[in-house]
Amino acid sequence: MSKNTLYSIVGALVGIAAAAYAATAPYERFPGVVIGGEATPPPADWNTVNDHGEVLMKLAGFPPFVIRIVYSTDEGGVITATRPDGGYWAARVRGGRRDGWIRLGDATYALRATEIVGDERIPYLESYAAKNGMSMGYDFEGEVIPSVNEPVHTWEVFYWTPR
């Protein structure tokens, strides 16, 4: 077997392995493309599925995009938040790709995102921060705590409801 043939075989195997990994293993900074799970009707009360640490989220459109995120819930839907840094998934939602899926355990729910803006964000962020052990970044009198590194009260909120 020639060197060129061996290099071609190794290159093809590496390419196949990379493609398989990207399709099946999403994590924080490297999106995947397959969400998996079983299509499931929404629960009557979303608080009944608030016991997972992370969930998979897939946004509609091309390219396929699946990431792991933390979340919280209220009775009507799923709360996600992101730093106000122009992140990719938030920009996609704002750009009109509001439909998506969230996988909790083996259940995958078809949802639609609505961005919550202004002071209306605060109750959602308080729920999100409390569930995920994060600081809102201010005290009970509304004074900002300067030692908090990334105060959640500045984050952007997206509320996901069944579609």
3-class SS at 2? coil
Domain contains 1: no
Q: What is the pTM of this model?
A: 0.75
The residue range of the domain holding 92 is 31-162
CATH of residue 49's domain is 2.30.110.10
Domain contains 101: yes
Summary mean pLDDT of the chain: 84
pLDDT at position 26 over 50: no
Whole-angstrom Cα distance, residue 49 to residue 53? 11
Domain contains 40: yes
- In one-letter notation, the amino acid at residue 124 is Y
**CA proximity to 31, closest of 11, 61, 10, 51:** 61
pLDDT at position 39 over 90: yes
Higher pLDDT, 45 or 28: 45
What mean pLDDT do residues 106-111 have? Answer: 96
For position 101, what pLDDT does the model report? Answer: 96
pLDDT band at 3 (very low <50, low <70, confident <90, very high): confident
For position 21, what pLDDT does the model report? Answer: 61
Domain contains 112: yes
